[in-house]
Amino acid sequence: MTLKYVATTCPYCGTGCSFNLVVQDGKVVGTAPYRRSPVNEGKVCPKGTYAHEFVNSPDRLTKPLIKKDGKFVEATWDEAYDLIAQKFKSYKPDEFAALSSARVSNEENYLLMKFARGVMKSRHIDHCARLCHASTVAGLAAAFGSGAMTNSILDIAESKCVFILGSNTFEQHPLIGRKVVQAKQNGAKVIYADPRYTATAKQADLYMPFVSGSDVAILNGLMQEIIKNGWEDREFIENRTKDYEKLKEVVMKDAYSLENVSKISGIPVESLKTAAEWLGTAKPGAILYSMGITQHTVGVDNVKSVANIQMLLGNLGKAGGGVNALRGQNNVQGACDMGALPVVFT
């Protein structure tokens, strides 16, 4: 019997945990801790623990299938490639579309993007970020020039205030939740805003259930309270931001007073005041969000508001701060960075 361990990356969420695949006589039979990973330090969630099971699933295809007389039949690879090439040649560029994947490597996403645009001359290539984190790509690119997390996952443990919005982190990204716990053990305050009472809510120092769709009003109201109390980072605003006066003109309107925001969102005024004080005084602070604020028609506005409050507080370029978009699948960011998104020509 031969037994070996092969270090790899978990194929599920965007945390990027590592573990060892246990390989016995050439067959993957289990997982074991990979303790050198700085992200998960040998720990994994249930998804990672059983991540190997699909490898040997009897449902996996082992040969190409071609539909003949309405039924799929096994074919050789040469037959499959000939059919694909023949069919592809019959389409005009705007009749062809390619779907890439957030679960494959950067290299594979790049190749499909180049094939779609360079070979098929088509602008129609997409992947799951069109629904999940397209708002992040657009919003953070507009604010910072890049549609990615501004900080590392490890930085979260150094935060003095963690604001989680639109993310059930402890269930969906448990090893990132572990970093939130480490921050809390070091004295950080944890604020959680979500319409549902979740496992993440149980870990929060302040839980704020609210009416879905009121995210921008909440963030603008918090910014108004921060400015009223002088908690904004004036040096950062002066040296690192643009159009602060335009932002201030909007958020200081009566519509975003805590009393009005409370009516809109359903969050008590005292909770909003507490959240603003913690964000304004416990620095550096990190904001964690996921698809709870991005899968909206106003998702880009939500993301821009998150970026605005962090710029207002000067929580960028610092360990323990930042705008942290938590990706749902293991390579959403890479697929976006490799250009596997549509281009609209006007």
pLDDT score recorded for residue 345: 47
**What tens digit of pLDDT does each residue of 24-33 get?**
999 999 999 9
- Kindly report the pTM of this predicted structure: 0.89
Tell me how far apart the alpha carbons of residues 20 and 13 are, in angstroms, rounded to a whole number. Answer: 17
Residue 80 and residue 36 share a domain: no
Task: State whether 155 and 20 are in the same domain.
Answer: no
Residue with tokens 């293991």: 330
What average pLDDT score do residues 289-315 get? 93
Distance between CA 154 and CA 180 in Å, rounded? 10
Structure tokens at 64: 């190409």
Do both 73 and 183 map to the same domain? no
- Give the contacts of 109 (CB within 8 A, at least 6 positions apart): 100, 101, 127, 331, 334, 335, 338, 339, 340
- Answer yes or no: is pLDDT of 81 > 50: yes
**How many domains does the chain divide into?**
3
Residue ranges making up the domain that contains 86: 64-90
What are 67's strand-pairing partners?
72
Give backbone dihedrals phi and psi of 125, rounded to 5 degrees, phi first: -135, 140
CA distances in angstroms from 93 to 86, 88, 120, 127, 157, listed in the order given = 15, 10, 6, 18, 48
Q: Are residues 159 and 245 in the same domain?
A: yes
Is residue 78 included in any domain, yes or no?
Answer: yes
Domain at 142, CATH number: 3.40.228.10
Q: Is the pLDDT of residue 244 over 50?
A: yes
Question: pLDDT tens, 94-130?
Answer: 999 999 999 999 999 999 999 999 999 999 999 988 7
Q: Which pLDDT band, with edges at 50, 70 and 90, does 298 fall under? A: confident
Is there a contact between 19 and 31 (Cβ–Cβ < 8 Å)? Answer: yes
- 250 and 304 belong to one structural domain: yes
Is there a single domain that holds both residue 33 and residue 159?
no
In a domain, 244, yes or no: yes
Residue pLDDT, tens place only, 193-212: 999 999 999 999 999 999 99
Regarding whether 249 and 159 lie in a shared domain, the answer is: yes
DSSP string, 221-263: HHHHHHHHTT-S-HHHHHHH-S-HHHHHHHHTSGGGSHHHHHH
Same domain (yes/no): 74, 138:
no
Do 71 and 45 share a structural domain?
Answer: no
Answer yes or no: do 188 and 268 share one domain.
yes
- Position 316 scores a pLDDT of 97
Residue 206 lies in a domain: yes
* Strand intervals (E) in the chain: 3-9, 18-24, 27-33, 65-68, 71-74, 98-99, 125-126, 161-165, 189-193, 206-208, 285-289, 323-325
Contact 88, 120 (CB under 8 A): yes
Residue 330 placed within a domain: no
The pLDDT of residue 189 is 98
* pLDDT score for 313: 98
Give the number of C-alpha atoms closer than 13 A to the C-alpha of residue 182, restricted to the C-beta side: 17
Question: Length of the chain, please?
Answer: 346
Question: Has residue 212 been placed in a domain?
Answer: yes
Confidence band for 346, pLDDT divided at 50, 70 and 90: very low
Per-residue model confidence as pLDDT tens digits over 304-345: 999 999 999 999 999 999 999 998 888 988 998 899 988 754
Residue 344: inside a domain:
no
3-class SS at 266? coil
Q: What percent of the chain has pLDDT over 90?
A: 88
The Cα–Cα gap between 20 and 18 comes to 7
Q: What is the pLDDT of residues 255-279, one digit of tens each?
A: 999 999 999 999 999 999 999 999 9
pLDDT at residue 344, as a whole number: 56
Please indicate, yes or no, whether residues 43 and 72 belong to a single structural domain of this protein: no
